[in-house]
A and B are shown apart, each in its own frame.
Chain A
């Protein structure tokens, strides 16, 4: 087995462990390249099916192509798609683009808070009805006890310390100093009522691995990742106002791979285009302790 086969097998094994051990399981799909690889791994693990809901947190500031792509794949692959949002903060204009709060607060409200309350079923969830071709209010209000997430250890410091199966308490808090042991493919699958476990099948993947796998498997990705003539592309996708494109000539997957391996990005961190990471020394770590992805 080569490296990609190995990474794929570990990912599939973890997804299957999660599916066998958790009654209320879901997978977060941010539409970005990592969580799309994760979705693909789920189709590998379950032979074309995705036997648990895909949850998207809609901040309403995502770049429009992302939402179009989400709904296109939902239809084509017959995906069980669910989204949630912080409708209160959005209605009150408590957002960075509205000029009322700073970037980190905006992330906390639109992402971390929305995520927490969508996962625990306190806030409304909307599910795609393949019969009517529309999103409709989801009757299911159960807490998701297992939440599959596409974070990678190489993204930033706090993610490098993650477990494959990482528990969150009732308040969604990650106790980074006291994580469960993991060895010999045995993971934490028993948990106290009210808590949930985040599951991370992509921890060992690097950004380059992700693109190599996308190339090998021919996985469709959002067009924003590619230079379409402007000399710019997105290296990492997030909300429009806080994620910036990078200058790059890469027009397709194989050009991205050579850019990462030997080209201009060989030594530049991926999230350098994300403004919220720079707000305070450990900004992302603080957000992540409180439940951010």
Chain B
């Protein structure tokens, strides 16, 4: 019979004795490998330092020489009841990211407080972070009772004060236990030095933690990890791979993929070296084939049509903690990762910064510094699907990447209504109502061997962008690509005939925006038809590019700036500095299309 397994984290301020408590737990319950305790005792004797139970855990050389825990260690421990992975998280502020890493994979937590030193900065900070990480089962260990003469009053004072704090951060049902890690009171053994204590020992509290509520009963959320089609091995299956975060589904269920709103039924659940699987539930890494072949890519969120839909938007009110060396600032680009989606974003506004150690809101700051906890608004470059923390915590969680590093993380509290959100809602509606023919988008892609894309050729007025766009169409056509070029005048006297001033009137933003909306809708149709669609648009800005991307509901939007100087804030995907050498540039088209991943094997 398989035993139950549970991940537990030990957190708390530096030097409050986490490693000692864990070391003691291992030693007293006889869980150490043969000879380990003796070996550590011998090493201590050799180096003339007093023996400490913490040395059983702090395996790294630096940790032993400095006497602190640098990184979270995994310790395997079995009680009579079940198997545990114990994560001993570092308490030093420098290593907060390691503490979070350790705590985030835990189902329950112990928070250790030194009875002698009392509640310290990280006692509160760690409590706050545990709550944000979604760990609701917490026990507080009041350690080093030997240093305060096992005094009940000291213990009671800490319980009173810390309970108040825990209640304020929505952790109301926390249990406490007075212990001495060094002497071994109430870790595994009961001793008579605290006759006033009638509660549980650490080991008993450990076994009292409950396995997390079943995630299966929540609505289905399965981020799409990838699409597999291993054609070079003569495998014709097109498998949508993903791990269900919450909920469940079975063969025949109708799924809807957000943010696009595309629907299809589960045809089969694929597996290797197992009996046929017909049902999948939370936690399972799986793969499915669909009845109707819709085009999907990594980042889509699979949900069930008969359950609560997720939110869709691009302007988010979040709570986050920041771990980066560089502060989080407005005007800089970050990547937001949630589920399997990854999207560029910027900090728009800081609502408040909380000093996590005291939980007081600080004076208005214009940046979020390392180890700060803040409430802010983030604007994403395109709409994504997610949930709010109050609805479904699992899919409300995100991290922020600065450069190459994960520099922060948080939870989504609200969707901020804005113009883009309004467009986002319309977009979903459009996709939900869209009437597909029998020939699907994917059929076309496979037939044409191209991923349809919108190619915006831009630059200053009369700067050669029209000529380049025309030549580009010709070049792609000669490469057997299915392509269409739409010129400005075709738009102005056709689709835009009712827009009086034309879009070059930069004073009339409304008209320009409507023009862009129309281009986007046409582009959406042309892309659905499987085409490379080339549009010329003068002096495109960053914001306009984002709006178009949002409206076409695809990231397959590429920008080419023609002309020496870029006169807007756009960062183009390809910059043609010398339009007079068009022929040279066109030589590269095939390579660039491949780099943009528009050509190649369509899965």
**Structural contact, B243 and A13, CB atoms closer than 8 A:** yes
**Structural contact, B285 and A20, CB atoms closer than 8 A:** no
CA of A32 to CA of B566, assembled, Å: 57
Which A residues touch B237, using CB under 8 A?
A: 47
CA of A21 to CA of B100, assembled, Å: 23
Q: Give the interface segment out of B58-66, B200-208, B555-563.
A: B58-66
Which A residues touch B335, using CB under 8 A?
A: 190
**Structural contact, A179 and B71, CB atoms closer than 8 A:** yes
- B 263-304 to A, binary, CB cutoff 8 A, 1 in contact else 0: 000000011110000000101110100000000001000000
Q: Give the interface segment out of A2-10, A57-65, A110-118, A233-241.
A: A2-10
- With A181-B323, A281-B61, A285-B61 as contacts: A186 and B243 at CB distance below 8 Å: no
> With an 8 A cutoff between CB atoms, is A263 at the interface?
no
**Structural contact, A163 and B235, CB atoms closer than 8 A:** no
Which B residues touch A228, using CB under 8 A?
A: none
CA of A269 to CA of B36, assembled, Å: 10
Which B residues touch A281, using CB under 8 A?
A: 43, 61
Which A residues touch B337, using CB under 8 A?
A: 186
> With an 8 A cutoff between CB atoms, is A192 at the interface?
yes
Contact of B74 among A44, A160, A179 (CB under 8 A): A160
Closest to B1 in A: A2
**Structural contact, B226 and A20, CB atoms closer than 8 A:** yes
CA of A185 to CA of B223, assembled, Å: 12
**Structural contact, A160 and B75, CB atoms closer than 8 A:** yes
**Structural contact, A160 and B98, CB atoms closer than 8 A:** no
**Structural contact, B298 and A20, CB atoms closer than 8 A:** yes
Interface residues of B in 65-96 (CB under 8 A from A): 70-76, 83, 85
Closest to A157 in B: B59
Closest to A4 in B: B2
Contact of A181 among B61, B98, B281, B404 (CB under 8 A): B98
- B 392-403 to A, binary, CB cutoff 8 A, 1 in contact else 0: 000001110101
**Structural contact, B70 and A177, CB atoms closer than 8 A:** yes
- With A47-B237, A157-B60 as contacts: A3 and B4 at CB distance below 8 Å: yes
> With an 8 A cutoff between CB atoms, is B474 at the interface?
no
Closest to A19 in B: B226
> With an 8 A cutoff between CB atoms, is B406 at the interface?
yes
Contact of A47 among B71, B270, B401 (CB under 8 A): B270
Of B226, B235, B298, chain A has the most CB atoms within 10 Å of the CB of B226
> With an 8 A cutoff between CB atoms, is B241 at the interface?
yes
> With an 8 A cutoff between CB atoms, is A93 at the interface?
no
Which A residues touch B259, using CB under 8 A?
A: none
Which A residues touch B405, using CB under 8 A?
A: 180, 188, 190
CA of A256 to CA of B313, assembled, Å: 54
Which B residues touch A43, using CB under 8 A?
A: 272-273
**Structural contact, B409 and A186, CB atoms closer than 8 A:** yes
- With A47-B230, A160-B73 as contacts: A9 and B243 at CB distance below 8 Å: yes
**Structural contact, B239 and A47, CB atoms closer than 8 A:** yes
Which B residues touch A188, using CB under 8 A?
A: 404-406
Residue pairs across A and B with CB atoms within 8 Å: the count is 153
CA of A187 to CA of B225, assembled, Å: 14
* CB proximity of A129 to chain B, nearest CB, Å: 16
- With A5-B284, A17-B225, A158-B59 as contacts: A184 and B74 at CB distance below 8 Å: no
- With A9-B283, A267-B34 as contacts: A16 and B104 at CB distance below 8 Å: no
CA of A195 to CA of B124, assembled, Å: 37
Interface residues of A in 31-60 (CB under 8 A from B): 43-49, 51
- With A48-B272, A176-B60, A186-B399 as contacts: A16 and B226 at CB distance below 8 Å: yes
Give me 13 other A-B pairs in contact (C-beta within 8 A), A154-B74, A285-B59 excluded: A3-B4, A4-B2, A47-B237, A157-B59, A161-B71, A182-B104, A183-B103, A183-B133, A188-B406, A204-B85, A267-B32, A267-B33, A285-B61
CA of A186 to CA of B100, assembled, Å: 12
Which B residues touch A51, using CB under 8 A?
A: 230
CA of A45 to CA of B215, assembled, Å: 22
- A 122-154 to B, binary, CB cutoff 8 A, 1 in contact else 0: 000000000000000000000000000000011
> With an 8 A cutoff between CB atoms, is B228 at the interface?
yes
Which A residues touch B323, using CB under 8 A?
A: 181
Q: Which 9 pairs show the lowest CB-CB distances between chains A and B?
A: A157-B59, A183-B104, A2-B2, A181-B97, A12-B285, A153-B74, A9-B285, A186-B399, A161-B71
Closest to A7 in B: B5
> With an 8 A cutoff between CB atoms, is A1 at the interface?
yes
Which A residues touch B404, using CB under 8 A?
A: 188, 190-192
Contact of B71 among A9, A20, A177, A206 (CB under 8 A): A177
**Structural contact, A3 and B2, CB atoms closer than 8 A:** yes
CA of A203 to CA of B337, assembled, Å: 23
* CB proximity of B94 to chain A, nearest CB, Å: 9
Which A residues touch B100, using CB under 8 A?
A: 181, 183
> With an 8 A cutoff between CB atoms, is B419 at the interface?
no
Which A residues touch B230, using CB under 8 A?
A: 46-47, 49, 51
**Structural contact, B287 and A268, CB atoms closer than 8 A:** no
CA of A156 to CA of B61, assembled, Å: 13
CA of A160 to CA of B98, assembled, Å: 13
* CB proximity of B408 to chain A, nearest CB, Å: 9
- With A47-B230, A186-B406, A217-B273 as contacts: A204 and B74 at CB distance below 8 Å: yes
Which B residues touch A78, using CB under 8 A?
A: 233
> With an 8 A cutoff between CB atoms, is A282 at the interface?
yes
**Structural contact, B225 and A16, CB atoms closer than 8 A:** yes
**Structural contact, B285 and A49, CB atoms closer than 8 A:** no
> With an 8 A cutoff between CB atoms, is B105 at the interface?
yes
> With an 8 A cutoff between CB atoms, is B594 at the interface?
no
CA of A291 to CA of B105, assembled, Å: 26
CA of A16 to CA of B287, assembled, Å: 11
Contact of B409 among A181, A191, A282 (CB under 8 A): A181
- With A9-B285, A20-B226 as contacts: A154 and B76 at CB distance below 8 Å: yes
**Structural contact, B241 and A176, CB atoms closer than 8 A:** no
Interface residues of B in 1-60 (CB under 8 A from A): 2-5, 32-34, 43, 59-60
* CB proximity of A76 to chain B, nearest CB, Å: 14
**Structural contact, A183 and B2, CB atoms closer than 8 A:** no
Closest to B71 in A: A161
**Structural contact, B287 and A47, CB atoms closer than 8 A:** yes
> With an 8 A cutoff between CB atoms, is B366 at the interface?
no
* CB proximity of B369 to chain A, nearest CB, Å: 16
- With A161-B72, A161-B73, A184-B397 as contacts: A3 and B3 at CB distance below 8 Å: yes
Which A residues touch B398, using CB under 8 A?
A: 184, 186
Which B residues touch A3, using CB under 8 A?
A: 2-5, 83
Interface residues of A in 176-219 (CB under 8 A from B): 176-177, 179-188, 190-192, 203-204, 206, 217
**Structural contact, A184 and B104, CB atoms closer than 8 A:** yes
- B 517-531 to A, binary, CB cutoff 8 A, 1 in contact else 0: 000000000000000
Q: Could you write out 10 A-B pairs with CB less than 8 Å apart?
A: A46-B228, A160-B75, A176-B60, A180-B405, A181-B101, A186-B337, A187-B406, A190-B401, A206-B76, A281-B43
**Structural contact, B74 and A47, CB atoms closer than 8 A:** no
CA of A16 to CA of B224, assembled, Å: 11
CA of A13 to CA of B104, assembled, Å: 17
CA of A44 to CA of B164, assembled, Å: 49
CA of A20 to CA of B341, assembled, Å: 12
* CB proximity of A71 to chain B, nearest CB, Å: 20
